[in-house]
C-alpha cells in the first residue's frame, strides 16, 4: 500500500513534483503548451479577420445592390445617363459612389415626412392660395393669389422624389395659374419665389410649361426697370404694368430688392434666347459700379432717378441689404466663373473686405457677430437673416488664395456658431428675428418672433459640404427637432410669436417648404444631390443650372438635358 502523498499510476503526471525531477520532460510539456496556445490564438484572430471580411463584403454587396437599383431607376425613366462625355458620365456616377450614412438616412426621411405633412396640410386647407394659415385651417393670398406655396414647393417635391405631389402641383400651374391680376406685386418677392421657382422646376424636369409661365410673369415685371438709371421700382401692378416704390421708403428703391433679380433674369434669357431680361437686370449692376464705394458696402436705399445711394440709410447684411451681396457671388458662379462675369466676383471681394470692418466679438464668450452701420456709427445688432453669410463665405472662400480662403472660412465657422447659439439661447431652442450685443455682452434677443426662417440651416448645409464636419449636421438636426416640437400642429407648421414663451402664430410661410425643409434635407443627403458643381441656389433656395456665359454672341436658348443628375432616389431610405 502506497504512502499518503505518493504519486501512483497516471495521476503522477499531473503533479508538479514529477517534472521538477525530470527537466527534459518539463521542457517538452512547456513547449507543447506554448504551441497549443499559439495555434488557438491564431485561429481566433483568423476568425475575427474572417468575420470582418464577411462584413465588408456584405456592405459592398448592399452598395452594389443600391447602385443597381439606381441604374434600373434611371433606365426605367428613359433617361440617357450613359450618353455624353466621360466627364459627364463620371459626374452622374458620383451619385452612386456617395456613402450613405444610416443616421443621416433616417434624419432625411424625417425631414421628408415633415415636408409631406406641410404639403398635405396646404393641399387640404389652402389649395391654390398663396399660404396656409394652419390654426384657422384656411388660406390667405399674401402675394396676390399667385399660388406661392405651390410654386415655391415644386423643386423641393422633385428633389425629395415626391412624384405624385409634384405632378399635382404641375397640373395646377398648367391649368390654374394666372398672372393677369390687378395686384401690386413686390418685384423682389415675385422674382425670387415665382420666377425662380418656375425656372428651377424647368431646369430639373425639362417641362416647358414652367418656362412658359416664368416668361409670362417676367414680362409683367419688366416695366419696373423703366427708370432713368435702370434701378428698378420695387412694386408693380401685374395687370396694368404701373410701377412705383413703397411709400415708406420715401420713394427710394431698396438695395436687396433691386440687386436680387440678376440671377433669375440672366437664367431666363439663357433658357429663352431673349436677351431683354438679362439686359434689364445687369444694367442695375453697371449703374452701381459707377459709384461703388471702396469698402463695397452700400446703404439700403438708392434713388432710382439718380442712382445715388442715400447716405442716411443703414448698411446691413440683414433685411433689405442681404441678398445683394449674395447675388454678386452667385451670378459669377452661375456664369461658370468666366471672364464675362469676373466683375461680379471683384465687386463681391471688395464687399467682403468691407464685411470684415463690421465684425465684432463679445467679451464673455468671444462670439463673432456682424454689426449694422449708419454713417460712421456702428450698431451692435444682427438679424437672423444675416445668418446666410457663413454659407456665402464658405461658398466663395475656395476661390481665394489659400491664406485668404482659410481666413474667410474660419470667419464663416465663427459666425455659424453664433447663429446656432441664436437658437440654443432661447427656451424653445428657436431663434428670434434679431439679437443685440450691447456693451460687449453675449446676445440678447430683440424681436422675439420666429417665422420658420431658413438662413442658419442654409449655412450649416454649406459648411458641412465644404468641411465634412458632421457637427453641422448635428446642429441642423437639433434645430429641426425644435421646429417639430414647437411649430408642428395637426394642420401644418406655424411660426412663434415669441420664442421665449412658445406662443404660436397662424402662418406657414411658403419659404418653409421652399428653403428650410429643402436645406435640412440636403444637409442629411450626399453632396452629389444638387451638386455645387452643376447648380447654384437663388436666395429662395431654388437651384438653377450653371451655364457658361456667351456674351457678345447672338443669344440662343439653352437646351436643358434632363438626366437626373440629382440622384433623387437617394432621398428614399428604402432604396439606399
Q: How far, CA to CA in Å, does 193 sit from each of 14, 201, 277, 317, 514?
A: 89, 12, 17, 20, 9
Residue for cell digits 413686390?
A: 186
Q: Which residue in the block uniquely carries the three cell numbers 502523498? A: 5
540 is catalytic: no
Answer whether 431's CB lies under 8 Å from 384's CB. yes
Q: 3-state DSSP helix/strand/coil percent for the chain, to nearest 5?
A: 55, 10, 35
- Strand residue runs (E) in 428-540: 434-436, 444-445, 488-489, 492-493, 496-498, 503-504, 535-537
Query: Is-contact 571 565, C-beta < 8 A?
Result: no
What is the per-residue DSSP string for 500-531? TTTEE-S-B-HHIIIIIHHHHHHHTS-TTTT-
Per DSSP, what are the bridge partners of residue 360? 369
d(CA 189, CA 323): 12
Q: Is 60 a catalytic residue?
A: no
Sequence ranges of the binding site for Ca(2+): 539
Q: For the sheet containing 381-383, what is the strand order?
A: 381-383, 434-436, 444-445
Gyration radius of the chain's alpha carbons: 31
Pick from 293, 315, 288: nearest CA to 303: 288
Q: Which position among 433, 458, 498, 505 bears the catalytic label?
A: 433
What is the spatial distance between Cα 197 and Cα 190, in angstroms, rounded to a whole number? Answer: 10
CA distance 110 to 384: 25
Q: Which residues contact 330 (CB under 8 A, 6 or more apart)?
A: 263, 395, 536, 537, 538
Instruction: Say which of 152, 161, 165, 189 is annotated catalytic.
Output: 189
Torsion on CA atoms 514, 202, 339, 295, rounded to nearest 10: -20
**Residue 139 β-bridge partners:** 132
- Tell me if residue 433 is catalytic: yes
Residue 447 main-chain phi, psi, to 5 deg? -70, 120
Query: All 3 cell numbers of residue 265?
Result: 433674369
CB proximity list for 490: less than 8 A, separation 6 or greater = none
Of the residues 152, 161, 257, 322, which is catalytic? 322
Q: Counting every residue, how long is the chain?
A: 576
264, 349, 455, 505: which one is catalytic? 455
326 is catalytic: no
What are the CA-CA distances from residue 173 to residues 20, 36, 178, 230, 256 (Å)? 97, 78, 8, 31, 28
- Residues annotated as catalytic are 189, 322, 433, 455
Amino acid at each position: 500500500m502506497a504512502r499518503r502523498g505518493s504519486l501512483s499510476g497516471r495521476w503522477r503526471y499531473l503533479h508538479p513534483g514529477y517534472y521538477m525531477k525530470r527537466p527534459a520532460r518539463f521542457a517538452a510539456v512547456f513547449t507543447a503548451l506554448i504551441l497549443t496556445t499559439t495555434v488557438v490564438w491564431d485561429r481566433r484572430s483568423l476568425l475575427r479577420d474572417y468575420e470582418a471580411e464577411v462584413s465588408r463584403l456584405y456592405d459592398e454587396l448592399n452598395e452594389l445592390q443600391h447602385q443597381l437599383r439606381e441604374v434600373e431607376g434611371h433606365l426605367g425613366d428613359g433617361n440617357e445617363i450613359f450618353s455624353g462625355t466621360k466627364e459627364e458620365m463620371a459626374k452622374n456616377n458620383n451619385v452612386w459612389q456617395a456613402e450613405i450614412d444610416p443616421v443621416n438616412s433616417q434624419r432625411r426621411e424625417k425631414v421628408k415626412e415633415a415636408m409631406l405633412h406641410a404639403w398635405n396640410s396646404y393641399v387640404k386647407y389652402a389649395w391654390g392660395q398663396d399660404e396656409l394659415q394652419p390654426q384657422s385651417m384656411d388660406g390667405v393670398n399674401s402675394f396676390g393669389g399667385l399660388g406661392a406655396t405651390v410654386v415655391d414647393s415644386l423643386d423641393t417635391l422633385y428633389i425629395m422624389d415626391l412624384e405624385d405631389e409634384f405632378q399635382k402641383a404641375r397640373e395646377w400651374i398648367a391649368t390654374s395659374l394666372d398672372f393677369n391680376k390687378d395686384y401690386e406685386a413686390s418685384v423682389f418677392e415675385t422674382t425670387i419665389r415665382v420666377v425662380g421657382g418656375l425656372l428651377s422646376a424647368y431646369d430639373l424636369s425639362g417641362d416647358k410649361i414652367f418656362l412658359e409661365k416664368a416668361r409670362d410673369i417676367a414680362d409683367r415685371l419688366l416695366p419696373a426697370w423703366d427708370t432713368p438709371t435702370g434701378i428698378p421700382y420695387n412694386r408693380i401692378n401685374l395687370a396694368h404694368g404701373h410701377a412705383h416704390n413703397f411709400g415708406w421708403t420715401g420713394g427710394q428703391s431698396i438695395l436687396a430688392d433691386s440687386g436680387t433679380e440678376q440671377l433669375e433674369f440672366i437664367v431666363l434669357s439663357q433658357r429663352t434666347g431673349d436677351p431683354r431680361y438679362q439686359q434689364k437686370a445687369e444694367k442695375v449692376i453697371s449703374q452701381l459700379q459707377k459709384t461703388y464705394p471702396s469698402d463695397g458696402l452700400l446703404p439700403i436705399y438708392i434713388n432710382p432717378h439718380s442712382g445715388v445711394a442715400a447716405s442716411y440709410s443703414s448698411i446691413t447684411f440683414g433685411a433689405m441689404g442681404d441678398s445683394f451681396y449674395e447675388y454678386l457671388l452667385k451670378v459669377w458662379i452661375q456664369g461658370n466663373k468666366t471672364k464675362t462675369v469676373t466683375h461680379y466676383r471683384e465687386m463681391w471681394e471688395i464687399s467682403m473686405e468691407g464685411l470684415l470692418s463690421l465684425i465684432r466679438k463679445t467679451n464673455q464668450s468671444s462670439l463673432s457677430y456682424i454689426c449694422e452701420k449708419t454713417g460712421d456709427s456702428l450698431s451692435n445688432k444682427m438679424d437672423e437673416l444675416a445668418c446666410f453669410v457663413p454659407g456665402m463665405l464658405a461658398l466663395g472662400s475656395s476661390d481665394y488664395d489659400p491664406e485668404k480662403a482659410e481666413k474667410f472660412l474660419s470667419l464663416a465657422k465663427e459666425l455659424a456658431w453664433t447663429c446656432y447659439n441664436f437658437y440654443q439661447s432661447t427656451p424653445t431652442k428657436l431663434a428670434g428675428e434679431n439679437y443685440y450685443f450691447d456693451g460687449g455682452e453675449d446676445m440678447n434677443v430683440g424681436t422675439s418672433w420666429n417665422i420658420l426662417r431658413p438662413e442658419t440651416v442654409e449655412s450649416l448645409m454649406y459648411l458641412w459640404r465644404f468641411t465634412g464636419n458632421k457637427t453641422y449636421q448635428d446642429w441642423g438636426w437639433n434645430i429641426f427637432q425644435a421646429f417639430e416640437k414647437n411649430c408642428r400642429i395637426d394642420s401644418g407648421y406655424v411660426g412663434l410669436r415669441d420664442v421665449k414663451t412658445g406662443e404660436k402664430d397662424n402662418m406657414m410661410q411658403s419659404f418653409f417648404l421652399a428653403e428650410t425643409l429643402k436645406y435640412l434635407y440636403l444637409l442629411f443627403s450626399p453632396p452629389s444631390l444638387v451638386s455645387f458643381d452643376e447648380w447654384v441656389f437663388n436666395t429662395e433656395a431654388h437651384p438653377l443650372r450653371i451655364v457658361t456665359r456667351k456674351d457678345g454672341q447672338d443669344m440662343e436658348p439653352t437646351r436643358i438635358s434632363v438626366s437626373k443628375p440629382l440622384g433623387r432616389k437617394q432621398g428614399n431610405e428604402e432604396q439606399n
